[in-house]
Structure 1
């Protein structure tokens, strides 16, 4: 015998040598093969449990080299009555700088595709004595009836992203969800998403995380404050158990797959916001979940003397992403979510980390980014980079590789500043409207669809708060209002916070419509923050990462209260789809777009008033005229004669959708207003 079995189980479990590949837990000839990496361990033990709440293992299996070790991989094959059992690992190794072995610490398999235990629920933290048994891998049944599921496969030019949070979308009582805060709750909102017209949901992190890893407490009540956003992953391959019904150890697997299948059936793609730059293990005082206890100096970037973690993420540690072992794990993880879970794309949090070497230097041709872009199984998925990190790397417009789209923070800031009325923003606004050629048209190549255009996202103000608060109000986070960014380019329009004055509220609504209209007529890929279409508010909190409460939850009563705005956004999306010239995956040619100032002459690109018009020629399918007045004064526009008459498709100053027919010539825009005109065909222009 090459392994030592303690606590022989009452059920029949057969133990064999197993195979070193693939890593993780996989079906193998009627049994389960487990393989885990550890270069520096001298002993690996596998502990099996028969239930989530079991305090003692059903069996402890100590793997002995060389029978159960090949190179740096420890492996074993089990067969018998295993379905539904749970497992953890223990690792023992030398005491040496950089190594953090704790022989009695229960560790998650880094490749665990399903996890369970007592620490995944956002409802309450586990009892102090339960933490070492709180996270376990699941020997789960991965079979699922996909019902011939096919990915929608929307091209970038026809993609419209809705960024949302699985729990926040339906946990509020107003959602009236049968599965509040769960993957299946997202399914319940599919009819709404279809009516709105979006083509993809971008889900904030669903990789399993421990909501209470930060040990944060409410500054007023003293009660624990969970990690709501989920940007501290524990198990990279596993869906978050706290977003499932929890009726079985593998409920999260089945319910996540159900969500994806039903979204696909509705023509909606699923993009995951994934975190590969750091883990929840944090810095020196953080808790050990998995990687640190298996091979700390392989998985993390350490200082030259290995005495501390190098932190480029602001979260205590930095994954050693371009080490071959870690690089392989990340690619395996992406393949898993695509092949086994059918997701359509990924948004990479702090993606510049993925381009740093073991010393933290930013590489010119990072092997990980190249491998992701060239991987044959990932060739059709959407890749989105947050092209910066917390240590100064800023790569917007020059993120390595050709397949990557990027969150365009320049778009966010300059559209905000244009509509706030900052002088001299006209030229920059026009550049963003046309797809940010200054960033993405390299040497005549490139495409505007590399730009993910957004004005708001989870990180920062909601759109309602952007036009209702001049400064952030993060006091409930318990950090003295020092957290979150200070430069928001926001405007409270005369009153900080909720206002009863009708004039203030009318101006805020108009500014919301102006910003949304700009978003949906810009070339590039629009991303709408969920709830912005009905004025979701966070009370001025621009960093609500720890607010798992009504601050962050979607209050669907607002959707009823602001039905006209919801319809306005739906109409904007329909307008974009009806006029492909607005979303083409190429930059405008000079003859396609004509810019002009209010008097009909050349635009004043650096002037103080932020007043601008353009006519977009759609090559035989008509023309569009876009008029923008971001100033605080009315503006009279002389509209170039490109049609005998125009139909008003959008007027942000109107209280209801407009469809009036107007002649060419002069027209007046009230302060802070957008108007979009569509050229009328001769047959349309004639009276019935």
Structure 2
């Protein structure tokens, strides 16, 4: 039996030297019970402590202090007649396969501050990765495949690649139930991506090398990963999900928030009976309520201060900008409060600026960076060879000033990406005309239908060398555009080695070889890997590719930007145009670049600008072998024109 005191209204489980303070928000509830367990496998608690509202309640918070309680204590809460619930503020949960049997684990904060790298946003290069899928394949050759420790073993690879930040898909605990049945073996499919949160603090054990039921060593393991990434100059960005929870809508599960107070935590309509569903996942978190806001801020500060991460990418972030009726508030919402927070304003804040109810790219408050979906779409369309894209493409390459140039926002307010976890990989973009999601068990009805992809002559994998060659060329074209564009580039894990998901563009429930990074595949795509490394080196070396200010569309004696077509200063912006060229001057190095993008199916002859005292040197031509690219003493171009092969991109540099 525990001796107990009244405790204080400090949410969560606070481990002190002489005991543990427990507290939970439970509004308008009559009975609150704290259950203490001996083991995570136990179905019945060893002790039930009924809280006395006259002693253990302050406002809407119930609290109690257990004398001699120690770190590792297992507990749940019981509120009125609801099922036992997990503490949403808990830093760890037990690892029961049956989620309804899980317990919260009381953890003591270390308060060991990990120094943040604070790499400027304009110098950031993001690598989006899934911790488990990155090393789960046996050919990853790591000691602990699919774990935080396994990912740590691959840090030298990432450092050599040249990225400055990894963006992890969700790492706090989620319910992996999908209800889907695989068509191949009839097995139940589990959600591996993690966009179905149970709580916003507890690190998942799914990626821990220690799978013991009651252990909380995953926290130490993750901190070691963060520390080692920092030692190698790589920041950590977490994909966080504050827009919905795993409890779903009416008839959904009870993990915590529904029992604590439905009206506080969720957006409801029709006399508080029906859940609003801007997330598409059954419920929408009410981020207007002060209790919810404080929880989100506390969660972010925990990951930033205690766990050492450097920034966050907010899934369906626009939901955080809606009022309780679902109307867009933007500047007058939690979104603005986060960039004004004295602590969180110093970390990287990145938004996915759309949800089921609207598209708000460019509408985020100042100091946010945003995933630029328009950039993704136009690059795909241009590479595919779709008409009417040249004008739009140029805007996106030059930092999307039409979207972001307001309120002193800069080009690095936008995150440029062509692929991400959600959709085709880059190789699949050039290998499939249609999605192939039957293995998800949803009759191929899930996933995006409009992918702007083109298979280049064969659907899926092929041994046709001609098709493989043009596909690789198109990969290089996309990578080249990505790394010379103003803004922050983001690459999806494995795109640098031709990773494929066999045409599945919604592989959220595929934890198998179709989604695991195939490290042996890298042998056949070493040219793409080297091309990626060289494009990153080029971007880092010359400031012109990562400007703090928007480029002006004018040519001032070769000290600005020149826009061209096959003829100098005559860009073709007509509907049927499939090519564009432009010159860029880097004042820091007194270097001029001439870049040609040709998505036409035929060869085009581009007139070259004249240089004073210098000559053009070929730096990149994606139609040529890599042996002819990125040479210190590349081919000098003496002609007044450069013949550009079909479906190719070229970079010339003044020497």
Work out whether the TM-score is over 0.5. Answer: yes
Q: Give the structure 2 partner of residue 143 of structure 1.
A: 110
Q: Confirm or deny that 1:32 pairs with 2:20.
A: yes
| Cα distance, 1:404 vs structure 2 | 0.6
- State the partner residue of 2:186: 222
Q: Using the TM superposition, give the Cα deviation of residue 291 of structure 1 relative to its aligned residue in structure 2, in angstroms.
A: 0.8
Corresponding residue number in structure 2 for 1:270: 236
Determine if the alignment matches structure 1 residue 359 to structure 2 residue 325: yes
**Maintained 8 Å contact 2:428/2:500:** yes
1:19-418 → structure 2 map (5 Å cutoff):
19-21=8-10, 23-28=11-16, 30-92=18-80, 101-102=81-82, 105-119=83-97, 126=98, 131-133=99-101, 135-143=102-110, 149-212=114-177, 214-244=178-208, 245-247=210-212, 249-391=215-357, 393-399=358-364, 401-418=365-382
Quote the Cα distance in structure 1 between the aligned partners of 2:617 and 2:255: 61
Q: 1:638 maps to what in 2?
A: 607
The answer to whether the 8 Å contact 1:603/1:612 transfers is yes
**Contact 2:322/2:333 (8 A) holds in 1:** no
- Aligned pairs (5 A) from 1:550-569: 550-569=513-532
Contact 2:95/2:211, CA 8 A, preserved across alignment = no
Contact residue 561 and residue 585 of structure 2 kept, 8 A: yes
Aligned length: 641
Q: Does the 8 Å contact 1:338/1:344 carry over to 2?
A: yes
Point out where structure 2 has 5 or more consecutive residues left out of the alignment: none
Does residue 513 of the first structure (1) align with residue 479 of the second (2)? no
From 401, 404, 409, give the equivalent of 1:437: 401
Which position in structure 2 is the counterpart of 1:686?
Answer: none
Show the counterpart of 1:677. Answer: 652
Distance 2:433 2:180 in 1: 27
CA contact (8 A) 2:180 2:440 kept: no
With over 3 angstroms needed to count, the CA separation of the structure-2 counterparts of 1:533 and 1:62, relative to structure 1, is same
Deviations 1:40-97 (A, max 9, x none): 21111111112222222121111111200000001111231522221111101xxxxx
Which residue of structure 1 lines up, in the alignment, with residue 562 of structure 2? 594
Q: 2:580 aligned with 1:615, yes or no?
A: no
Q: Is the 8 A contact 1:636 1:669 kept in 2?
A: yes
CA displacement 1:229-275 (0-9 Å, x = unmatched) = 11000021111111112346211211111111111111110000000
Deviation at 1:323, TM superposition (A): 1.1
Mapped partners of 1:52, 1:624: distance in 2? 62
Q: Deviations over 1:163-183 (max 9, x none)?
A: 010110111111122111111
Aligned mates of 2:244, 2:119 — CA distance in 1: 31
Please report the RMSD computed on the Cα atoms of aligned residues, expressed in angstroms: 1.5
Map of 1:426 onto structure 2: 390
Give the Cα separation in 1 of the matches to 2:232 and 2:18. 36
* Aligned partners of 2:320 and 2:333 also within 8 Å: no
Tell whether 2:535 aligns with 1:535: no
Residues 1:649 and 2:619 aligned together: yes
Distance 2:293 2:531 in 1: 45
| Counterpart contact for 1:44–1:63, Cα < 8 Å | yes
- Confirm or deny: 8 A CA contact 1:115 1:138 kept in the other structure: yes
Task: State whether residues 362 and 403 of structure 2, in contact with CA within 8 Å, keep that contact through their aligned partners in structure 1.
Answer: yes
Shift of 1:285: 2.4
TM superposition shift of 1:228: 1.1
Q: Specify which of 652, 663, 669 is matched with residue 637 of structure 2.
A: 663
Name whichever of 457-466 and 171-180 sits farther off.
Answer: 171-180
Gaps of 5+ in 1: 1-7, 93-100, 120-125, 681-688
Deviations 1:582-618 (A, max 9, x none): 0112101334110111122410123423211111111
Give SS of 2:327's match: coil
Question: SS where residue 64 of structure 2 aligns?
Answer: strand
Could you tell which deviates more after superposition, 401-410 or 368-377?
368-377
Moved over 4 A (4+): none
Whether contact under 8 Å (1:354, 1:366) holds in the other structure is no
Q: Residue 458 of structure 2 is aligned with which of 471, 495, 498?
A: 495
Say if 1:282 and 1:316, in contact at 8 Å, map to a contact too. yes
TM-score with structure 1 setting the length? 0.91
